[in-house]
Amino acid sequence: MPIVSDATRYRWRTRLARRVHRLGDAVAPPPPPDQLRRRVGGNWEVIGKLQFDYLVSEGMRPEHRLIDVGCGTLRGGVHYVGYLDSGNYFGIDLGPEMIEGGRGELARAGLDTKTVHLRATDTFDVDFGVPFDYGMALSVFTHVSLNSITLCLSNLSSALAVGGRFYGTYFRGPASPERTTPIAQPFHPGFSQVTTYCDRNPFHYTFDDLRHAAADLPLQLDDVGDWGHPRGQQMLRVTRTA
Ligand SMILES: C[S@@+](CC[C@H](N)C(=O)[O-])C[C@H]1O[C@@H](n2cnc3c(N)ncnc32)[C@H](O)[C@@H]1O
C-alpha cells in the first residue's frame, strides 16, 4: 500500500479547497446593479456625465477610439458608448464582475446593439491591437500605488496613437516633509469628504510623483488641476509624443 506523506495530503487538500472556492464563485449570483454602482463610488449620473462632457470638451468625437481604464460598471461608459461610433469604446477593469455589470448597464440603457470591447485584467493590459485617440482613468489612480500607475502609463505609451491623449484623475497631496500627513480633500456641498494618504488607499500624489512614474516614457504630462470634480479629484493630461 503506497504511503502518502502529510505534505502530499496537505497539497491535495489545498488544491481541493481552491477548486471548491472557484466553483462557488462560478455559481454565485452576480452582485445586483445597485451594489456595483455603489462600489464605483455612487453619484452615478453626476460623475458619469462629468467625465463624458470633459472628454468632449477636450475634442473627443464619435469617430475616435477611447480606452476607459478601470471602467467599472461603465458609469462613464454608458455615455461614451452612446456617443462613439460602434466598436470605438474599449474598457478594462480588474473585476470580472464589474465587466459583467457593465454589460448589464449597457443592456438597461438600450445600448447592447453597439459593439464594445471589454476586458478583465490585473496588469493594465490595454493592447487591443488598435491605437487609441483618447483615454480616461476616472477614480483609478486614486486607488492604486505609484508603481501601478507606472505600469499603466508604460502600457499606454505604446497603446495611444502618437498625439493621442489620456486623462487620469488623482488626489493631490503635499511634497515632503508633509507627504505622510493625511489630507482632507476639498468637496462640493452635498458630497462627502475624502481623506487621503501617502501609503494606502485612497492615495494622494504630487504632480512630480506622477511625472516620475512616467519618466523615460514618450509621454508629456500636464497638470490640469481642478476640473470641477465634486470630491476634489484633480485632472492629469498625458499626451503621447513619439
Ligand atoms: C472608483 S471605480 C471607478 C470606475 C469608473 N472609472 C467610473 O468612473 O465609474 C475604480 C475602478 O477601478 C478598478 N481598478 C482598480 N484597480 C485597478 C487595476 N489595477 N486595473 C484595472 N482596474 C482597476 C476597480 O475595479 C473599479 O472598478
- Reply yes or no on whether the pLDDT at 25 is more than 90: no
Pocket test for ligand 1, best of 35, 40, 79, 125 (most atoms within 8 A of CB): 40
Average pLDDT of 7-31? 69
Q: Which ligand 1 atom sits closest to the C-alpha of 138? A: 6
Cα of 94 to ligand 1 centre, how many Å? 7
Residues 219, 234 contacting (CB under 8 angstroms): no
Q: What is the pLDDT of residue 125?
A: 98
C-alpha cell at 231: 470630491
b/e map of 5-23 (b: 16 or more CB within 10 Å)?
A: eeeeeeeeeeeeeeeeeee
Domains of the chain: 32-240 (3.40.50.150)
Q: Could you report the per-residue pLDDT of 88-116, keeping only the tens digit for each? A: 999 999 999 999 999 999 999 999 999 99
Q: How many CA atoms lie within 13 A of 188 on its CB side?
A: 11
pTM as predicted: 0.89
144 lines ligand 1 (CB under 6 A): yes
Three-state SS sequence of the chain: CCCCCHHHHHHHHHHHHHHHHHHHHHHCCCCCHHHHHHHCCCCHHHHHHHHHHHHHHCCCCCCCCEEEECCCCCCCHHHHHHHCCCCCEEEEECCHHHHHHHHHHHHHCCCCCCCEEEEECCCCCCCCCCCEEEEEECCCCCCCCHHHHHHHHHHHHHHEEEEEEEEEEEEECCCCCHHHCCEECCCCCCCCCCEEECCCCCEEECHHHHHHHCCCCCEEEEEEEECCCCCCCEEEEEEECC
Cα of 6 to ligand 1 centre, how many Å? 42
- Looking at ligand 1, which residue's alpha carbon is closest to its atom 8? 138
Q: Could you report the per-residue pLDDT of 38-64, keeping only the tens digit for each? A: 888 889 999 999 999 999 999 999 999
Average pLDDT of 59-82? 98
